[in-house]
A and B are shown apart, each in its own frame.
Chain A
Amino acid sequence: MKTHLLFNLFATFLLADGLNIEDSAGQFFSSGHTNNWAVLVCTSRFWFNYRHVANTLSVYRSVKRLGIPDSHIVLMLADDMACNHRNPKPATVFSHKNMELNVYGDDVEVDYRGYEVTVENFLRVLTGRLPPSTPRSKRLLSDDRSNILIYLTGHGGNGFLKFQDSEEISNVELADAFEQMWQKRRYNELLFIIDTCQGASMYERFYSPNLMALASSQVGEDSLSHQPDLAIGVHLMDRYTFYLLEFLEDIHPASKANMNDLFKVCPKSQCVSTPGHRTDLFLRDPGSVLITDFFGSVRKVEITTEAIDLTEPIKEVEERPANGDVHKEMHSYVDQLPVSEIIHQKPKQKDWHPPDGFILGLWTLILLVFFQTYGIKHLRHIF
């Protein structure tokens, strides 16, 4: 009797648990993405553009804090501010004046830096068309279940964004790059944030589905910087990203804040410019999209009830020493500066290449003149 009761209780518990698993499995697949990527780009060079690097590093810091690992972040900084010789506090980049918050941190990994941040490299990272020897940390290895966050900052204008003061990317190119990504199924949903002057012009031309875009100012408006620090001597952050950082500091991985809260960041009273956003290409309702869908990397855990047998011991293969190797020759270090050897060194054999260019033309001329003068049939008298 008791065993029957126990059995019934056990069975109902299993059933209830099973229902719970199905429910959570359903929730697992509703948001549509399984991994998160972030591409954070600062496009400005020179010390007085310190704020753009600080902008990008603030977003990097928030994204890392909310769970996206370094292997899934492609960070591109066009110039080095932290170890710049004009920085009074080396290895730091501050976002708040009086040196309150060091956004550079102790654990930063920059993937593209300095002269590597070009329009070509940026588009290649997005579309995945990189040379085969590019290391993994420099690639955007996203798939069709990836949510990607793209953040751009720098100097821009109506329809373009300036890279390193020498080239530009236009909004048409950017829209085409996103379309390439869509056709190659390189993203599930994409959030595009841009903090430049006239930033809204950069997302005007988007036409691929599942794109949501935010900009710090409308066409015809300038995005303004926030506050200077008198010890460092430059403006530390741009207004939009400053208030975005403040908003993101309140988000934690289990937060349920959604995109509508993000659209309210930095109203005109704080930002002076009017931030804009674009959601018409996005399939889901922005109110149902969590902030952590893009800024964090929330891993959903699926609990399984099967047991896995781990009792079999792992056998370490013992390396058998090679037999017959009793008499090994004595190795020695190489002489670092063998003067006599160097003086008597023979010139190294260069590989023979067939003559090209001028030499070839000269010899052809000589041969032509020779044959012209002497004729072919007279040659046997000469040779």
Chain B
Amino acid sequence: MAAYRCSSPVWLFILCSFSVFIIAGSEETPVAQEQHANVPDNPQTAAETAEQTEKETGGAEERRWEGTEVRDAATQKQAEPVVLQSTPRPKDDFQEELVVRPLHSGDIYASFQFRTLWETDFMRGNKVSHYRLFPKSLGQVISKFSVRELHISFTQGYWRTMQWGQPYLPSPPGAELWVWFQDSVTDVDATWKELTNVLSGIFCASLNFIDSTNTVQPSASFKPLGIGNVTDHRFLRYATLPREIVCTENLTPWKKLLPCGSKAGLAVLLKSEKLFHSSFHSQAVHIRPVCQDWQCKTTSWELRQTLNVVFDLHNSGQGKREWSLFKMFSRTLTEACPLASSSKIYIDITDNPEGEHFELSPATSLLSQAMVLGDRRTFSVYDLTQQDTFGSVRSLNLLIRWKSTEGDMLRPLLHAERYVAGYGLQTGEIHTLMYNNHPYRSFPVLLLDSVPWYLRLYIHTLTVTSKGKDNKPSYIHYQPSKDRVRPHLLEMLVQLPPNSVTEVTVQFERALLKWTEYTPDPNHGFYVGSSVISSLVPSTVAMDTNSTQERPLFSSFFPCKEESSYFVRVYTEPLLVNLPTPDFSMPYNVICLTCTVVAVGYGSLYNLLTRSFQIEEPSPGLAKRIANVIRKMRGVPPL
């Protein structure tokens, strides 16, 4: 009996374990296939072959999935055929690159660019909810505020064009924000105010100080950098905060927007202690719609995060003309970001074709040429997605060692300066100088000046002179300021004659602010934002006009429409002016003085008038007082 009872549970057990084994065995293979399908996604070295293998494995997976379905129809629900097709091709792509350019003054310029491309439509009805490489905070900002283009930059330091040449991505000192809205926005100013508040929370910056007193609407500058055909400037807003400080608290949220964060790839080099101990540091975020391919039939959203830094020879370089990744960033590279489809380092060796000026180690055989800033430059390329770049030590520390200090720099073709002339605290004059260093070509520049309302410009004193003669601008747009509401906006299209200096001067008068409008440190002065000079500068070589995407990132930022010139934007210095500042200790001093006068003057007079005098006997000595007490007790009159 016991044996009989024991056998049936044993059979049941064997059957159960067998069915479990079958199920486990069949479930393993689809999981393995899925993992295999995901691996070719990430470094997409050859897009087509990867796609093909994907489809194949997806097809095989599909077949296998259907096989298990037949067996386990009871436990699993019917899946729709649409989902069972090959795993969808990921629609977003991430690339990172670092360009290192040695400068003639011994400094070194490093420019990081991180680009995420995403084929999606934020403006359609259904909300985007699955974010993979594109950061969710920015995606929500784009869809909520109907943003067509967003450009924000935080810069510490001033770019010295004459010593360093032109930057790949220009930016003014402080914070700068300019946004193109979609034409579906009805109230642009209210949307702009909300957008600045939201961005101030995302980037930990005081962008909420952007309001109507420092926002302008340029009429010809700042055309959209992305694709589009409508350029109604009613949807453009531009603001700059020259006083804005950039520090680690702005870098931290910026790094968090990257897909790999600061854990892998080029972003591990971004350590704040080294980045802020530099002559120039600028980080920016640019969002715009771009063409997906050379045919340009569909658009995708591009997010570029750029970081430009110039390390000083004496501060960070300790005077020795030898730069390495470890010396610049106190880190070396160990791997590329696994989510990146391309991860490259470019070193500019145009001035060093035979290796006579500096030596680069570890040596690399990859070379690349790119048309950037009107010149054909040669670069040594390090591809971080290849394992052999890292060598046997598994870490890459590029070293650039100088052998000779010769060589001079080509003068940049366009350069600008600005300063305040005059004396005293009542009037002054703003001078803007634009240098055209081309020997025989002249080119037009568009100058945008936004001056705060408390410097009252006298536009009738505006003069534009080149080589001593008057140079009439072909286009002037001036919007006068309104006290406490709007700043001045001056836009001019000036033709710069070859090899000349053009000077734009305008006189102003300083206003007296209300005492509550002064900052807590008014004796520091008040800032006037940089002027922006946009120009099409003639290039020495023919520029590449077809907008394919195989170009390195640093050469494909500004769209190029013609071959003979390239677009450049130059920012001048911000100005610092002193306004007539009242003495803030005045109320305290007045109260002290008034109270003293009242107490001494009026008090004495009051006493004199109201005091009455009485004659009083001097008090007798102690013995007499005791005697008087005894006499009083006896009832005898006192002494």
Q: Is the CB of B219 within 8 A of A333?
A: no
Number of contacting residues on A, CB 8 A? Answer: 54
B interface, size bucket: 35 or more
Interface-located stretch among B10-18, B243-251, B361-369, B622-630: B243-251
A109 at the interface (CB under 8 A from B): yes
Q: Within residues 118 to 140 of chain A, which ones have a CB less than 8 A from any CB in chain B?
A: 131, 133-138
> Which A residue's beta carbon lies closest to that of B545?
A333
Q: Would you give the shortest CB distance from B198 to chain A, in whole angstroms? A: 6
Q: How far is the CA of A135 from the CA of B298 in the complex (A)?
A: 34
Our pick among A330, A336, A342 for the contact of B475 (Cβ within 8 Å) is: A342
Q: Which residues of B contact A113 (CB under 8 A)?
A: 204-206, 245, 249
Instruction: Provide the bound-state CA to CA distance between A364 and B504, in Å.
Output: 43
**A241 to B: closest C-beta gap in Å:** 20
- Scoring B residues 189 to 227 as 1 if CB is less than 8 Å from chain A, else 0, what string do you get? 000011001101110111011000000000110011111
Note all chain B residues with C-beta closer than 8 A to A338: 223
Instruction: Mark the stretch among B289-297, B377-385, B452-460 that contacts chain A.
Output: B289-297
B518 nearest in chain A by CB position: A166
Q: Which residues on B sit within 8 Å (CB–CB) of A104?
A: 248
Say yes or no for B156: interface residue by CB 8 A criterion.
Answer: yes
Residues of B near A116 (CB, < 8 A) are 206, 208-209
* CB proximity of A164 to chain B, nearest CB, Å: 4
Q: Would you call A82 an interface residue if the criterion is a C-beta within 8 Å of the partner chain's C-beta atoms?
A: yes
| Shortest Cβ distance from B75 into A: residue | A311
* Interchain CB contact under 8 A, A106 and B248: yes
In the complex the two chains form, is A90's CB within 8 Å of B220's CB? no
Q: Please pick, from A90, A138, A334, A343, the residue contacting B228 in the complex, using a CB distance under 8 A.
A: A334
Chain B residue contacts of A90, Cβ below 8 A: 273, 276-277
| Cβ contact within 8 Å between A133 and B194 | yes
Q: Nearest Cβ in chain B — how far from A71, in angstroms? A: 11
Among B224, B227, B273, B493, the residue within 8 A (CB) of A92 is B273
From residue B259, how far is it (CB to closest CB) to chain A in Å? Answer: 18
Binds A, one of B44-52, B78-86, B612-620: B78-86
* Alpha-carbon distance A68/B202, docked complex (angstroms): 19
Flag whether A89 is at the interface (Cβ < 8 A): yes
Q: Does B432 contact A (CB under 8 A)?
A: no
Cβ B248 vs Cβ A315 within 8 A: no
Of residues 41 through 69 on chain B, the ones whose CB sits less than 8 Å from some CB of chain A are none
Total contacts A-B at CB 8 Å: 164
Partner of A345, one of B220, B234, B272: B220
Tell me how far the C-beta of A292 lies from the nearest C-beta in chain B, rounded to whole angstroms. 25
Is there contact, CB below 8 Å, between A333 and B561?
yes
B224: chain A residues at CB < 8 Å are 334
Give the shortest distance, in Å, between A257 (CB) and chain B (any CB). Answer: 30
- Is A204 on the interface with B (CB-CB < 8 A)? no
Asked whether B355 is an interface residue with its Cβ less than 8 Å from the other chain, the reply is no
Chain A residues near B534 (CB-CB < 8 A): 336-337
Within 8 A of B (CB), among A82-102: 82-83, 89-92
- Residues on B with beta carbons closer than 8 Å to the beta carbon of A318: 82-83, 85, 88
- Chain A residue at smallest Cβ distance from B199: A135
| CB of B514 closer than 8 Å to a CB of A | no
CA distance A264 to B224 in the complex (A): 62
Q: 8 Å CB contacts to A: which residues of B501-557? A: 519-521, 534-536, 547
**Within residues 230 to 245 of chain B, which ones have a CB less than 8 A from any CB in chain A?**
231, 233-234, 243, 245
* Cα distance, A330 to B398, chains bound together (Å): 43
Pick the contact of A91 from B247, B291, B474 — CB < 8 Å? B247
Bound together, the chains give a CA A107 to CA B246 distance in angstroms of 14
Q: In the complex, are the beta carbons of B475 and A343 less than 8 A apart?
A: yes
Given A45-B521, A336-B223, does the pair A114, B493 have CB atoms closer than 8 Å? no
B77, B130, B296: residue with the most chain A Cβ atoms closer than 10 Å: B296
Also in contact, A83 and B247, with CB within 8 A (given A334-B227, A336-B559): yes
Q: CB within 8 Å of B: which of A141-186?
A: 164-166
Q: Assess the B223–A334 pair: CB atoms within 8 A.
A: yes
Asked if A115 contacts B206 (CB within 8 A), the reply is yes
**A113 to B520 Cα, complex, angstroms:** 13
The verdict on A345 contacting B559 (CB below 8 Å), with A46-B521, A336-B536 known, is: no
B297 A330 Cβ-Cβ under 8 A: yes
Minimum CB distance partner of A340 in chain B: B474
Contact A108/B83 with A45-B520, A134-B197, A135-B202 known, Cβ cut-off 8 Å = no
A334 touches B194 (CB 8 A): no
A138→B197 CA distance, assembly (Å): 10
Q: Is A337 in contact with B209, judged by CB distance below 8 angstroms?
A: no
- The answer to whether B297 and A109 touch across the interface, beta carbons within 8 angstroms, is no
Could you tell me if A339 and B277 are in contact, using CB atoms closer than 8 angstroms? no
Q: Which residues does chain A contribute within 8 Å of B475, judged by CB atoms?
A: 342-343, 345
Set A83, A115, A137: member contacting B276, Cβ < 8 A = A83
Is B109 close to A, CB under 8 A?
Answer: no
C-alpha spacing A58/B298, complex, angstroms: 52
Query: Contact between A106 and B561 (Cβ–Cβ < 8 Å)?
Result: no
Query: Is A337's CB under 8 angstroms from B201's CB?
Result: no
Alpha-carbon gap, A138 to B547, bound state (A):
42
A332 at the interface (CB under 8 A from B): yes
Q: Is the CB of A331 within 8 A of B291?
A: yes
Kindly list chain A residues whose C-beta atoms are within 8 Å of the C-beta of B229: 331-332, 334
> When each residue 320-350 of chain A gets 1 if its CB lies under 8 Å from chain B and 0 otherwise, what string results?
0000000011111111111100110101100
Q: Could you say which residues of chain B place their CB within 8 Å of the CB of A330?
A: 295-297
- Residues of chain B in range 80-106 having any CB-CB distance to chain A below 8 Å: 80, 82-83, 85, 88
Q: With A134-B197, A135-B200, A331-B296 in contact, is A107–B234 under 8 Å at CB?
A: no
Within 8 A of A (CB), among B546-576: 547, 558-559, 561, 567
Q: Are B520 and A164 in contact (CB under 8 A)?
A: yes
Closest chain B residue, CB of each to CB of A104 = B248
User: Could you tell me if A133 and B197 are in contact, using CB atoms closer than 8 angstroms?
Assistant: yes
Is B582 interfacial (CB-CB < 8 Å)?
Answer: no
Q: Which of B243, B444, B520 contacts A337 (CB 8 A)?
A: B444
From residue 342 to 382 of chain A, which have CB atoms closer than 8 A to chain B? 342-343, 345, 347-348
Contacts A92-B273, A137-B201 given; indicate if A313 touches B252 (C-beta within 8 A).
no
Residues of B within 8 A of A (CB): 77, 79-80, 82-83, 85, 88, 130, 156, 193-194, 197-198, 200-202, 204-206, 208-209, 219-220, 223-229, 231, 233-234, 243, 245-249, 252-253, 271-273, 275-277, 291, 295-299, 444, 446, 474-475, 477, 493, 519-521, 534-536, 547, 558-559, 561, 567, 584
Contacts A115-B520, A347-B477 given; 13 further ones with Cβ under 8 A?
A45-B521, A89-B273, A90-B276, A91-B276, A115-B519, A135-B197, A136-B201, A137-B204, A318-B83, A318-B85, A332-B296, A337-B223, A342-B493
**Lowest 4 A-B CB distances belong to which pairs?**
A135-B201, A333-B559, A83-B247, A91-B276
